[in-house]
């Protein structure tokens, strides 16, 4: 029964993540909804480990690449927000807090720069869209993004804690995971 519970939970959470990504058809969700969609994988990581989280991320990313209407949201999910909650679980096992944060910040910054370059050079997004009053905004976005990333990481930690305390017993019972 454990294998069927794993497949069922992965399918449900993958569908939920895709639902959040499809809601990016509304402009307010370009940045927030990919972050929420990635957080949906937390139960998989808690219940079954990182491998299940990465496999579900890969499946959702593949489908996302074809059906999500907002290109920026698609790139942000595939390039960072989809795998970060799974990677976070692995990084927090390192034991050295300073090393964990150095790697987390490096992964975030590299992912954001590569996502931006992908949008500019592969998808031919006009650079003028990133200029406001003569200021080239990607530098500002990256600086502010680091602060928002720290808040996102803390929020994910709180979501994991809440999940383990409140939802874990119910999920385990419903999907017969024990």
Q: Where are the domains of the chain?
A: 2-174
Give SS3 for 50: helix
Question: Looking at the predicted structure, is the pLDDT value of residue 45 above 70?
Answer: yes
Label residue 133 by pLDDT band (50, 70, 90).
confident
Q: Among 69, 68, 49, 72, which Cα is nearest to 60's?
A: 68
Find the mean pLDDT for residues 7-24.
94
pLDDT of residue 117: 87
Nearest to 85 by CA among 119, 39, 25: 39
CATH T-level topology, domain 2-174? Arp2/3 complex 21 kDa subunit ARPC3 (1.10.1760)
Q: What is the pTM of this model?
A: 0.87
Measured between alpha carbons, how far is 166 from 40 in angstroms, rounded to an integer? 15
pLDDT of residue 178: 60
Interatomic CA distance for residues 95 and 135, integer angstroms: 41
Please tell me the predicted confidence (pLDDT) of residue 177.
64
Q: Which one-letter DSSP state was computed for residue 15?
A: H
């Amino acid at each position: 029964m454990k294998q069927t519970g794993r497949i069922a939970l992965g399918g449900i959470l993958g569908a939920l993540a895709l639902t959040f990504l499809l809601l990016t058809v509304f402009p307010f969700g370009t940045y927030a909804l990919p972050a929420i969609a990635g957080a949906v994988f937390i139960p998989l990581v808690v219940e079954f480990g990182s491998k299940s989280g990465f496999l579900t991320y890969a499946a959702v990313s593949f489908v996302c690449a074809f059906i999500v209407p907002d290109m920026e949201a698609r790139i942000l999910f595939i390039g960072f927000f989809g795998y970060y909650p799974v990677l976070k679980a692995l990084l927090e096992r390192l034991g050295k807090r300073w090393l964990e944060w150095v790697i987390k910040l490096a992964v975030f910054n590299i992912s954001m720069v590569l996502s931006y370059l992908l949008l500019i050079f592969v998808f031919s997004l006009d650079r003028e869209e990133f200029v406001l009053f003569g200021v080239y905004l990607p530098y500002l976005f990256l600086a502010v993004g680091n602060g928002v990333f720290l808040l996102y990481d803390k929020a994910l930690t709180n979501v994991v804690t809440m999940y383990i305390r409140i939802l874990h017993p119910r999920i385990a019972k419903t999907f017969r995971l024990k």
